[in-house]
Amino acid sequence: MKHAFPPLVIRGRSLLPIVQGGMGVGISAKSLAGSVAHEGGVGTVASVDLRHLHEDLMARSAEANGQTELDALNLIALDREVKGALERADGHGMVAVNVMKAVDSHAAYVRQACESGAHAVVMGAGLPLDLPEMTSEHPDVALIPILSESRGINIVLKRWMKKNRLPDAIVIEHPKHAGGHLGAAQIQDLGQERFDFRRVLEETFETFRTLGLERERIPLIVAGGINSFEKVRTFISELGATAVQVGTAFAVTREGDAHDNFKRTLAEARPEDIAEFMSVAGLPARGVLTPFLKSYLHREAKLQANAKADPRRCTQGLNCLTVCGLRDGLSKVGQFCIDLKLAAAFRGEVSKGLFFRGSEPLPFGSAMRSVRETIDYLLTGVVPQDLPKPAV
């Protein structure tokens, strides 16, 4: 594919400047991640609770005795998905694993990702200050933190430099536009100027200068609201980013790992069908107003008023999050089981699921196209001949 942008270079790998964001539960696994990598980009397996993709592991889950056994099944699933993505990539691109710092078993996921052969570990949902220690036995694995503002980038850089390690790239995610768990403290903070890509890039380049780092030493990857060739060109050619990260537009591709009902729900959502809410992890989130989310938001104030700390409220028995609004009785955040709702979304159960989504229209509207066509459009502006030009 011919395009005008410089490559994204990570650990000596020359890649397309396209990173596929990690989306769980099961939305970005071996099929999607391997397909993006095969085209020459960075494909990302979302590590959380991948057992839902494997019937034998779900059958064993029903008989599991406690969290330790459930965690072990999820590690088996992660190993399968990483190796499957690498096989599909066939030596092309890069296969990464996204690990949420907010997940209680994040260190085990990081270790398994490295042992399974992932080329990179991407970590967000919290400052990944100890990621270098977690991967010390795998020095060739690229480390990529996800952050939303220059202050967090500065903290991570200074802490990692004391450990003689630098990020191999940094994802800068704008909480006003991204889907999933968002890097702001409150919903009202999502649009604050400190998250503006231009400002964060400029301040980060100044941080590089202050710390004695060459500007090109650490690639900066912007994420959130990337849905057109024009935006890719603006962020890379004008603002100085190295690459872009794209989530929702890849989730709805033919190669996406989720059920077609999931893809249609994301693709057909209008702006008025998308809402921000507080997730159980204590972070704002953005998703489609499905029957579940509409009902939940209608009852949210009452549920929060009755919040109480009780381990028995963990309906899946996973204790998956370090901090959980439902289990821990945190009255100002979500009061539902996020694993249960994301698993339902993966299966395409629109009435029950929680469907995370970015805020912007999709490149091809409600049409499901391939990973290759999506990458072609983002890097060249070329639209499949049977589709109208995107109105984005």
Assess if residue 390 is contained within a domain.
no
**Hey, which residues does 171 pair with through a beta bridge?**
146, 221
Q: What is the pLDDT of residue 63?
A: 84
State the total domains in the chain: 2
What whole-number distance in Å separates Cα of residue 305 and Cα of residue 316?
22
Q: What is the pLDDT of residue 37?
A: 98
Same domain? For 257 and 275 the reply is no
Q: What is the CATH number of the domain that holds 185?
A: 3.20.20.70
Q: What is the pLDDT of residue 151?
A: 95
Assess if residue 391 is contained within a domain.
no
Assess if residue 258 is contained within a domain.
yes
The single-letter DSSP state of residue 39 is: T
Same domain? For 283 and 262 the reply is no
Assess if residue 331 is contained within a domain.
yes
Which domain range does residue 277 map to? Answer: 270-346
User: What contacts 35, CB < 8 A, 6 or more positions away?
Assistant: 43, 88, 253, 255, 371
Assess if residue 353 is contained within a domain.
no
Same domain? For 213 and 320 the reply is no
- The alpha carbon torsion through 72, 79, 312, 338 (nearest 10 deg) reads 180
Same domain? For 375 and 310 the reply is no
Cα separations in angstroms, 317 against 62, 71, 86, 98, 327: 11, 11, 31, 23, 10
Full pLDDT tens readout for the chain, 392 residues: 688 899 999 999 999 999 999 998 899 999 999 999 999 999 999 999 899 999 999 999 888 777 788 889 999 999 999 999 999 999 999 999 999 988 888 999 999 999 999 999 999 888 899 999 999 999 999 999 999 999 999 999 999 999 999 999 999 999 999 998 888 888 999 989 999 999 999 999 999 999 999 988 999 999 999 999 999 999 999 999 999 999 999 999 999 999 999 999 999 999 999 999 999 888 899 999 999 999 999 999 999 998 888 887 776 666 787 788 888 888 889 999 888 899 999 999 999 999 999 999 999 999 999 999 999 999 999 998 887 777 55
Q: Which DSSP helix (H) or strand (E) runs through 202? A: helix 197-210
Assess if residue 286 is contained within a domain.
yes
Same domain? For 121 and 243 the reply is yes
Same domain? For 234 and 303 the reply is no
Same domain? For 15 and 136 the reply is yes
Same domain? For 277 and 258 the reply is no
- The alpha carbon torsion through 100, 204, 9, 46 (nearest 10 deg) reads 10
pTM assigned to the model: 0.94
Same domain? For 256 and 373 the reply is yes
Same domain? For 95 and 240 the reply is yes
Q: What is the pLDDT of residue 370?
A: 97
Assess if residue 40 is contained within a domain.
yes
Query: Locate tokens 């034998």: which residue?
Result: 56
Contact (CB, 8 A) for 160 and 153 = no
Same domain? For 293 and 342 the reply is yes
Same domain? For 29 and 79 the reply is yes
- Identify how many contiguous H helices and E strands the chain contains and give both numbers: 14, 13
Assess if residue 389 is contained within a domain.
no
